[in-house]
Amino acid sequence: MKCRNCGAENPITSSTCSGCRKPLVAINRETVKSYVRPPTRVDHNEIALKMNLDYLHGAKDKNERALEGILSLLSHFQKPQMDLNALLFDAATIIQKQLGIANVSIGLKSASDGLFRYQVLVGFRQGTEATEKKLAYTEKQFSDDTEYKGTMIGNISKLYLAEDLPYKNDEIGSYDRAALLGMRRLSPSDSLEADYIDIWIQGVNGRLLGWIEISGTRTGKLPDILTIKLIEVIASIIGAALVQRGAG
């Protein structure tokens, strides 16, 4: 047995070192396992550098990318003259690309006749877009379930399911895959062609100014609740822009 004090070799049965006469202590596996290297001092100057690199180049999940997109929408408010159409298009693009929604449309209330019409459409085929832009709705059609049966799943989000036939004959051409209307749902999370969610854009005192309509996802599933809440944030930003322009 090697002495830990002087390094002399001793018989394994010895209790004291033959060289320095100090007690011998056996080193077993448990002793080695329990040995922990004392912590080294952290250079605090590296903390900010690491966080900056992570912020700029770190791997980002879907929700983090969506938050960055939402921050970019707020930059529209810092411009001397806000371009509302640009804001709407950026919002629709962020919802489609960052949140995985197949079709995104944003509609607003017309100041001339009070009807609601689609303004921006992202993810639709050209023929489908033309059909969508011909459609017009009254405010009652958003809140009343007489024509379009839906269910509120939040304060400003309303879910319409294919089984309730949430469309009229003149709207069939607005679906990208109209041939798939009427398909059966095999799972509660499945997304069908006629499923869609309306997220209301509101102004002062909850006045309805427009809506964001989403349908379809890359996964073929209904959007999760976090995705819907992120889109509600985007709807609130658009509402604030409309109020700033005097439309609220």
- Residue ranges covered by each domain of the chain: 63-244
Q: CATH number for the 63-244 domain, one of 3.40.50.1100, 3.30.450.40, 3.30.70.270, 3.40.718.10? A: 3.30.450.40
Three-point CA angle 38, 39, 44, nearest 5°: 160
Judged against a pLDDT cut of 60, whether residue 34 lies above it is answered with: no
Using CB atoms within 10 A of its CB, is residue 208 exposed (0-12), middle (13-18) or buried (19+)? middle
Q: What is the pLDDT of residues 147-170, one digit of tens each?
A: 888 999 999 999 999 888 766 555
Upper half-sphere CA count for residue 93 (Cβ side, 13 Å): 10
Chain length of the chain: 248
**For residue 176, is pLDDT > 60?**
no
pLDDT of residue 145: 86
pLDDT tens digits, 41-94: 878 788 888 888 888 877 678 888 889 999 999 999 999 999 999 999 999 999
Beta pairing partners, 210: 108, 201
pTM for this model (two decimals): 0.75
Q: Which residue has the tokens 């690309």?
A: 97
Q: Mean pLDDT of all residues in the chain?
A: 85
CA-wise closest residue to 133 among 121, 148, 147, 125: 121
More confident residue, 229 or 148: 229
